[in-house]
């Protein structure tokens, strides 16, 4: 059966995340609904990973199988006509039958947008802390997010996981931009539930002088879930891209 890769952008404000759930609107559900109309039969979509309720994506990746080859240009246009305005397919393209959006991914890159002032032009995609923060110590703390790290401080313990480690390739903070927004970026081979938002909330503690950058490093070396800061709001989090070999 032909397999197709799709790249999806969405505003997650009105959705309960990526994965299909009973009695709740999700991104996967909307895409499968549109595909069912075009294919005249149910089509299952496999994403690169889940995003939680309220989280956005600039380029989420997924794949699906069809029984026949399609005109990708026409299907792209038709799909975007069927999807809500907050969900857009950026691309549809054929891939090898063994391509898997989740298991073939080499990395995920997230951006978290935040500010210390209200954002009328970016209200749905920027988290605001009205108390000021210093990005210098936050940047130093973020520099410790490198390598193979134990993330038990920043995620609920899951008995089904063989381990709670992630391989981090890069992390840091940029900004402010012209709208006085900052961006925390973080890139890893995988992410566990709430990890980025929990790290972000803890970095804000560093920026507000509630803990030192050095104590932040210890949260990976001596994991303790009770030592994490408040989990940051979902609205600031954007799945920026998912990386694959030779793409």
CB 146 within 8 A of CB 168: yes
Catalytic residue among 7, 14, 52, 224: 52
Q: Where are the alpha helices (DSSP H) in the chain?
A: 27-39, 72-82, 135-142, 195-207, 213-221
CB 63 within 8 A of CB 3: yes
Going by the DSSP 8-state scheme, the letter that residue 161 receives in this structure is S
- Token look-up 């909330």 returns 201
CB 182 within 8 A of CB 135: yes
CB 129 within 8 A of CB 143: no
Which residues lie closer than 8 Å to 71 by C-beta, 6 or more apart? none
Question: Which residues in the chain belong to E strands, given as ranges?
Answer: 3-10, 46-47, 56-65, 87-95, 107-115, 127-128, 147-150, 165-174, 182-188, 237-243
Going by the DSSP 8-state scheme, the letter that residue 41 receives in this structure is S
How far is Cα 64 from Cα 183, in angstroms, rounded to an integer? 32
**Could you confirm whether 52 is annotated as catalytic?**
yes
- Token look-up 């309960």 returns 16
Neighbouring C-beta atoms of residue 242, cutoff 10 Å: 23
Q: Catalytic residue positions?
A: 52
């Amino acid at each position: 059966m032909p397999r197709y890769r799709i790249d999806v952008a969405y505003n997650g404000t009105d959705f309960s995340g990526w994965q299909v759930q009973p009695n709740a609107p999700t991104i996967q559900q909307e895409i499968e609904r549109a595909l069912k109309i075009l294919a005249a039969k149910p089509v299952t979509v496999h994403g690169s990973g889940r995003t939680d309720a309220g989280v956005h994506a600039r380029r989420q990746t997924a794949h699906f199988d069809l029984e026949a080859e399609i005109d990708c240009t026409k299907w792209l246009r038709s799909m975007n006509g069927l999807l809500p305005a907050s969900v857009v397919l950026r691309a549809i393209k054929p891939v090898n039958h063994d391509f898997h959006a989740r298991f073939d991914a080499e990395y995920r890159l997230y951006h978290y947008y935040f500010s210390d002032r209200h954002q009328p032009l970016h209200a749905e995609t920027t988290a605001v802390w009205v108390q000021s923060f210093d990005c210098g110590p936050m940047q130093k703390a973020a520099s410790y997010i490198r390598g193979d790290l134990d993330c038990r401080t920043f995620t609920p313990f899951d008995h089904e996981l063989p381990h709670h480690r992630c391989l981090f390739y890069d992390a840091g903070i940029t900004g402010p931009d012209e709208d006085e927004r900052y961006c925390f970026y973080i890139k890893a081979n995988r992410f566990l539930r709430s990890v980025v938002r929990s790290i972000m909330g803890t970095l804000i503690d560093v920026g507000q002088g509630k803990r030192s950058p050095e104590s932040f490093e210890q949260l990976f070396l001596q994991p303790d879930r009770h030592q994490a800061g408040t989990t940051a709001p979902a609205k600031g989090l954007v799945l920026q891209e998912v990386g694959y070999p030779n793409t």
